[in-house]
Amino acid sequence: MFARIWLVLSLLAAAAPVVAAPWLAPGDEALRRDVEQLAAAGLIAGPAAPALAAAARRVETACAAARRDGVAVDLGLATTPAIVGGFADAPRADSEASIALSRRIGRLHLRLGVGQRDGHLNAEPSFAALDLGGWALYGGYVEHWWGPGREAALLLSTNAPPFPKLGIRRTTPAPIDLPLLRALGPVGVEMFAGVLTEKRGDFDNPGLIGMRVAIAPAPGLEIGLNRALQLCGAGRPCSLRLIANGLIGLGNRDNSGTPNEPGNQLAGFDLSYRRQIGGVAAHAYVEMEAEDENNLLVEQFARLAGIELSGAAGSAGASWTLHAEAVDTLAVKLFGGKRYPGSFYNHHIYSDGFRYRGRALGSSLDGDGRLLAVAGSLTDADDRRVYAAWRNVDLNRSGAATHPLTAVPLSFNQLAGGFELPAASGRFRLEARIADGSAQASGVVPRTQLELSFSIAR
């Protein structure tokens, strides 16, 4: 059992969980907290405390489900989709549904399905992954959440729908057996190339290249380096030389938007540290991503920082978690304090920005946003979970009329609460949210919202 749990922990160490098959999908907030608690505990051999044993069983069950052939059905309904979302899987529209068939043929994992979002069909449940022994080659609609944040991931998250891509990732991070490089500890690597398949106001169907390297040089410490390059598209130059210049970070001197510049680049890093302190698992983390690369130099940073605590609740296998997180997507110059309103997720060539189908590929706040969140949850030994959160939100602080979420600055407080219950071969979740009067007056965020999701796999 612990060998399988270690596989999941290795995936988390790379901080790039994607959809099922040789890996686990982002979106299961309770499962992620189980893995975090086990990681902080160090997976000691021998009998475990009841809360850790319960977490281990839940992770074991998730691993077995990811490998199993069968049919999965997912349903999501919302009175209004959440304007500010986090790691938890949630509807992106008033109604979502999908059905997918999973099949493993030797080392090949297949998932074929169809989904609908507000009445429009899509192929988002579909992908294929080839297990290469410590590596996986994949193609299809694979989701990403890069970074340690709960409320946001600044470069790539599940805020926007998945887009088709081809990629390769290391599924079992391991040290590089070379002098000096051994000190990096286990190394996780992922790279993909995809297409944002949509009609846009700038250039239709642009390409997107993503890269991540994660290392664990000391127990509990993880460091990730992230990068994304948006380029090509209908009407844009797309030569091999332009792509190569973009990949090595050259050619971004020209800010006039001419074809001499490869495209829109973002890059940054994240740090996280886990430690068991008595009976409490502690996890502190930061992420910084920069809009615009200037010949290998990055500037104009968005920031994220948080802390999470978890531990046993009684002696029957229940556990609790508390976390606080701050996110700011109004870009600033590192060590300089200069602010860059309207910069993050925007670009002078790609005027629709670093977005897909109207949603930022990173934080749900989009650019020039700020969030402070405090949340907690309680999970019993039978995997029944209740949770609550308070969020203070500022959107479009620069007042840009073209902001995708609101044409004027908007500040509001929101309380959210809900519960998750295991069902026959599936899971049921219900969440309610209430915002203060400033949100209601804006017409952007309803005062009350209700959200329901149900999944079943057989």
pLDDT at residue 141, as a whole number: 96
Reference 366, options 209, 152, 173; nearest CA is 152
| Average pLDDT value for residue range 263-273 | 93
Q: What phi and psi, each to the nearest 5 degrees, are found at residue 422?
A: -70, 140
Structure-token pair, residue 309: 């605590």
Question: Is the confidence at residue 259, as pLDDT, over 80?
Answer: no
Note the pTM of the prediction, 2 decimals: 0.86
pLDDT band at 22 (very low <50, low <70, confident <90, very high): low
pLDDT at residue 335, as a whole number: 77
More confident residue, 47 or 25: 25
39-53, 154-168, 378-392: least confidently modelled range = 39-53
Contact assessment for residue 150 and residue 272, using Cβ atoms and an 8 Å cutoff: no
Q: Where are the domains of the chain?
A: 2-457
Q: Is 266 helix (H, G, I), strand (E, B) or coil?
A: strand
Return left, alpha or beta for 107; rule: phi > 0 is left, psi -120 to 50 is alpha, else beta.
alpha
pLDDT at residue 20, as a whole number: 44
CA pair distance 25, 376, nearest whole angstrom = 22
Helix (H), strand (E), coil (C) string for 105-132: ECCEEEEEEEEEECCEEECCCCEEEEEC
Contact assessment for residue 404 and residue 358, using Cβ atoms and an 8 Å cutoff: yes
Residues 6+ away with beta carbon under 8 Å from 332: 300, 301, 303, 338, 339, 340
pLDDT band at 275 (very low <50, low <70, confident <90, very high): very high
pLDDT at residue 44, as a whole number: 43
Question: Is the confidence at residue 41, as pLDDT, over 60?
Answer: no
> Which superfamily is assigned to 2-457 in CATH?
Capsule assembly protein Wzi (2.40.160.130)
Measured between alpha carbons, how far is residue 227 from residues 189, 325, 367, 406 in Å? 12, 23, 18, 28
pLDDT in tens, 342-374: 999 999 899 999 999 999 999 999 999 999 999
Q: Is 248 helix (H, G, I), strand (E, B) or coil?
A: helix
CA pair distance 333, 299, nearest whole angstrom = 6
Contact assessment for residue 433 and residue 441, using Cβ atoms and an 8 Å cutoff: no
pLDDT at residue 359, as a whole number: 95
